[in-house]
């Protein structure tokens, strides 16, 4: 496989040039709730544009017009920091189908950007068709003139979490699932994470939360908030099915270290109360927040625990405003804020001196 020399995936809290989203249009993803979803996307955009560009994948003029209407309705009259791209998608989960930007140090010491186009198969073939989503990173690279490398591995952005210094978090349930990369061993997968993302140490958690159709994405479980600190979701009710898997992940974290072997600082983050769609448990988690330049967007679920979660993150991000966005309808589609966003690091788009 082709490797990238001296590669690094920046941490999410590092400066952004912008944020990518794919505008929602698949009504079947939000049964009975779709009408409110564009407004939630517009609220996300509203909180981002004071701090960074927002890049929207819209497949055709009609979808762009609909997006503009929703943004204006959200009182974003100046759309100069919103860039529309005519890239068609199957669905709106840009974290998983969008471009993952990495940087590599060139022989002359400068850093240059690369887009990684991992294979995307709609979380193990669950929701065909997914051909348009699978092509998004390459289309963006072609449009922007950014080199694209396509590792021979199925991987979604929500399945990995990095500290920008060489440590990567993921889960056994997802990356070792035979519906992604059958026949690939843990060691082979770690080699891809090392060669394409710069992971010097891979930390494996176990199972994800109930209702997560992605097979245990780490962005509902445990997130880096600094190079040495993670927040990890904890379920307080011993009778809840999430109690034991989340406790197991906590115990694993307590025995883990970063790329230099230093123990992680662990902050516990409460879980929201359980939510259901008909008989299906929904994957509600405060860990599905998004870190932007001057703001942290936190999913809220109309619960008294919302403010407790916000307070935890506000202490950890004193220089950013932590904003709650109600996601009770968005999570009907089995994802929240982190699932629909993908960061574009600020050092990308040009070569810069190290």
State how far the Cα of 186 lies from the Cα of 75, in Å rounded to an integer: 48
Number of domains in the chain: 1
Q: Is residue 299 part of a domain?
A: yes
State how far the Cα of 254 lies from the Cα of 246, in Å rounded to an integer: 13
Give, for 201, the enclosing helix (H) or strand (E).
Answer: strand 201-205
**Structural domain harbouring 128:** 7-353
pTM of the model: 0.96
Give all strands of the β-sheet with 201-205 in edge-to-edge order: 161-162, 167-171, 201-205
Q: Is residue 280 part of a domain?
A: yes
Q: Is residue 173 part of a domain?
A: yes
Q: Is residue 44 part of a domain?
A: yes
**Residue owning tokens 């011993």:** 238
Q: Is residue 243 part of a domain?
A: yes
324, two tokens: 């709650």
Rg (CA), the chain: 19
Q: Is residue 2 part of a domain?
A: no
- Pairing state of beta strands 276-277 and 265-270? unpaired
pLDDT at 2: 61
CA proximity to 195, closest of 116, 98, 121: 116
User: The domain spanning residue 208 has which CATH number?
Assistant: 3.75.10.10
Task: Tell me, yes or no, if 174 is annotated catalytic.
Answer: no
What is the CA angle 171-172-178, rounded to 5?
125
Q: Is residue 147 part of a domain?
A: yes
Q: pLDDT 10s per residue in the chain (354 long)?
A: 466 778 999 999 999 999 999 999 999 999 999 999 999 999 999 999 999 999 999 999 999 999 999 999 999 978 999 999 999 999 999 999 999 999 987 777 777 899 999 999 999 999 999 999 999 999 999 999 999 999 999 999 999 999 999 999 999 999 999 999 999 999 999 999 999 999 999 999 999 999 999 999 999 999 999 999 999 999 999 999 999 999 999 999 999 999 999 999 999 999 999 999 999 999 999 999 999 999 999 999 999 999 999 999 999 999 999 999 999 999 999 999 999 999 999 964 443 222
State how far the Cα of 197 lies from the Cα of 108, in Å rounded to an integer: 21
State how far the Cα of 52 lies from the Cα of 82, in Å rounded to an integer: 9
Q: Is residue 61 part of a domain?
A: yes
């Amino acid at each position: 496989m082709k490797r990238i020399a001296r590669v690094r995936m920046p941490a999410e809290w590092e400066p952004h040039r912008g944020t990518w989203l794919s505008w929602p249009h698949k009504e079947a993803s939000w049964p009975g709730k779709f009408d409110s979803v564009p407004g939630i996307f517009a609220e996300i955009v509203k909180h981002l544009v004071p701090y960074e560009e927002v890049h929207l994948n819209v497949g055709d003029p009609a979808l762009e017009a609909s997006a503009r209407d929703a943004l204006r309705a959200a009182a974003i009259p100046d759309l100069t920091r919103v860039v529309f791209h005519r890239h068609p998608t199957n669905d709106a989960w840009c974290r998983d189908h969008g471009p993952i930007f990495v940087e590599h140090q060139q022989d002359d010491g400068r850093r240059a950007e690369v887009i990684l186009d991992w294979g995307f198969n709609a979380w193990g073939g669950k929701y065909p068709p997914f051909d348009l989503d699978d092509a998004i990173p390459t289309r963006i690279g072609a449009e922007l003139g950014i080199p694209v490398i396509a590792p021979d591995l199925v991987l979604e952005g929500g399945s990995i979490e990095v500290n920008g210094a060489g440590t990567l978090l993921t889960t056994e349930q997802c990356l070792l699932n035979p519906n992604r990369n059958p026949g690939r061993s843990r060691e082979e997968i770690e080699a891809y994470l090392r060669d394409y993302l710069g992971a010097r140490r891979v930390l494996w958690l176990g199972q994800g939360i109930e209702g997560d159709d992605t097979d245990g994405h780490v962005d509902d479980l445990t997130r880096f908030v600094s190079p040495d600190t993670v927040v990890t979701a904890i379920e307080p009710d011993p009778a809840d099915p999430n109690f034991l898997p989340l406790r197991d992940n906590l115990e694993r974290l307590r025995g883990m270290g970063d790329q230099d072997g230093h123990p992680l600082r662990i902050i516990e983050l409460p879980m929201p109360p359980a939510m259901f769609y008909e008989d299906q448990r929904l994957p509600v988690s405060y860990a599905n927040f998004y870190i932007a330049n001057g703001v942290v967007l936190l999913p809220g679920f109309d619960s008294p625990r919302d403010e407790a979660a916000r307070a935890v993150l506000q202490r950890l991000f004193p220089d950013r405003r932590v904003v709650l966005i109600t996601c009770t309808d968005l999570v009907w589609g089995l994802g929240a804020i982190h699932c629909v966003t993908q960061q574009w690091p600020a050092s990308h788009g040009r070569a810069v001196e190290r």
